[in-house]
Structure 1
Amino acid sequence: MFIRAYLRASTQIQDAERARADLVRFVEERGQRIAAFYVENESGAKLERPELFRLLADATPGDVCLIEQIDRLTRLRTEDWNRLKAMISDKGLRIVALDLPTSWLMFAAKPDDFTARLFDAVNSMMLDVLAAVSRKDYEDRRRRQAQGIAKAKTEGLYKGRPADAKRNADIAALLAAGHSWTFVQRTTGASRSTLSRIRKEMVEEAAES
């Protein structure tokens, strides 16, 4: 079984490889190993992703695309999700996600034809459901964000992006790299409250991705 692991995060300051250990552990517990990793920092709401397309180009019939969660693969609009599904189907690629137990059957002993077709139908339906949920979550978060900004503007509280955007980006990068808050404070001169705010923003962005 040729397993291709796909790891994604939305922004450059987020750790796209965060779930690597979980994916490795998952396949090793089933007596398998991951043959190739595809890692990128791109929005899940965007269809054209270089590493995802490279995975599709490399794939051969029967290969497995392993992901942590369905939203790592898609937060796409319905029409784009349908396009991606068609590409996956054309390549004969099978999707296995840690948050989709019905997909784990790909690692079980080969079932009879009827059972295999039944599992494929159930798995396809669940993929569509989770893809729709991922997209709705993305749209809900975007809408709440826009509403919050609009409200802040009407109350004269919205200031836009901070003036020192580069410093804040450096802080986020250092935090994402695992440096201690003390080290980041000494390196950037930022206050602890600033670090706390940026960390909160990183967590919120990761949830949106």
Structure 2
Amino acid sequence: MAKVGYVRVSSVQQNTDRQLDNVELDKVFTDKCSGGSTNRPALEQLIEYVRSGDTVVVHSIDRLARSIDDLRGMVKSWNNAGITVQFIKEGLVFNAEDTSPIAELMLNMLGSIAQFEKALINERQAEGIAKAKSKGIYTGRKANTAKHSDIKELLVQGMSIRKIAAELDCGVSTVQRVKKEMI
């Protein structure tokens, strides 16, 4: 019966120390990425690591997920596997045996607030980028012209979009964008 911590900060510069400070844990998994990101290696490792009887300890609901569906899915999946989930900041504990209706309500409300907060962040970011673009300040990331040349060459040779993306380790959308520029 292990007590396993999960810590997430949104950027590499942020400090993880305060999240589970003064909590006795057997193991801690830490991600340094956005909560909206689906690529969270430490969370994936934690999911593989925990077993029935373990407790997953998270500082706050918004550290685990910014989507209500993801949050509820993880908590339910862990509870069904006999794993308890504890949120320190909110003082909530979820397990298969005795999760109260009030705790369920709090999970749904706080999870919805986290999702709403993420949507507001995205909206403000998009507004800021649009304003910067209109002033000519923000132009986005520079294109990898060497990779674009390779993509064009493989497209001319007749290779499929998916094969090019796999071979050059880039997104399918990147290959599609380069193809569109060629027309």
TM-score range, shorter chain: 0.5 to 0.7
Normalising by structure 1, we get a TM-score of 0.57
Distance 1:101 1:80 in 2: 20
Structure 2 contact 129–138 (Cα < 8 Å) conserved: no
Asked whether 1:101 is paired with 2:91, we answer yes
Distance 2:76 2:132 in 1: 43
The structure 1 residue matched to 2:138, chosen from 153, 156, 159, is 159
Q: Deviations over 1:113-154 (max 9, x none)?
A: xxx63x433223212221111111011011012112223333
Kindly tell me: are residues 121 and 46 of structure 1, through their superposed partners in 2, closer, same or farther at Cα, counting changes over 3 Å? farther
The DSSP-based 3-state class of the residue aligned with 1:96 is strand
Distance 2:56 2:91 in 1: 14
Alignment correspondent of 1:55: 46
Supply the AA of the counterpart residue of 1:42. Answer: C
Supply the AA of the counterpart residue of 1:87. Answer: S
Supply the AA of the counterpart residue of 1:44. Answer: G
Distance 1:71 1:64 in 2: 18
Distance 1:159 1:44 in 2: 24
Instruction: For structure 2, list consecutive stretches of 5 or more residues without a partner in the other structure.
Output: 143-183
Distance 1:93 1:122 in 2: 20
Kindly tell me: are residues 101 and 81 of structure 1, through their superposed partners in 2, closer, same or farther at Cα, counting changes over 3 Å? closer
Distance 1:159 1:59 in 2: 44
Supply the AA of the counterpart residue of 2:35. Answer: G
Asked whether 1:130 is paired with 2:110, we answer yes
1:143-158 equivalences under 5 Å are 143-154=123-134, 156=135, 158=137
Structure having the higher Rg: 2
The DSSP-based 3-state class of the residue aligned with 2:71 is helix
Alignment correspondent of 1:13: 13
The structure 2 residue matched to 1:70, chosen from 41, 55, 61, is 61
Instruction: For structure 1, list consecutive stretches of 5 or more residues without a partner in the other structure.
Output: 28-32, 107-115, 164-209
Which has the larger helix fraction?
A: 1
Once the two structures are TM-superposed, the CA of residue 19 in structure 1 deviates from its matched residue by 2.2
Alignment correspondent of 2:70: 80
Once the two structures are TM-superposed, the CA of residue 48 in structure 1 deviates from its matched residue by 4.4
Structure 2 contact 75–85 (Cα < 8 Å) conserved: no
Aligned residues: 141
Bigger relative contact order (CA 8 A; separation at least 6): 1
Once the two structures are TM-superposed, the CA of residue 83 in structure 1 deviates from its matched residue by 3.4
Distance 1:122 1:38 in 2: 29
Kindly tell me: are residues 9 and 127 of structure 1, through their superposed partners in 2, closer, same or farther at Cα, counting changes over 3 Å? same
Distance 2:61 2:103 in 1: 12
Distance 2:29 2:109 in 1: 25
Alignment correspondent of 2:156: none
Once the two structures are TM-superposed, the CA of residue 52 in structure 1 deviates from its matched residue by 1.2
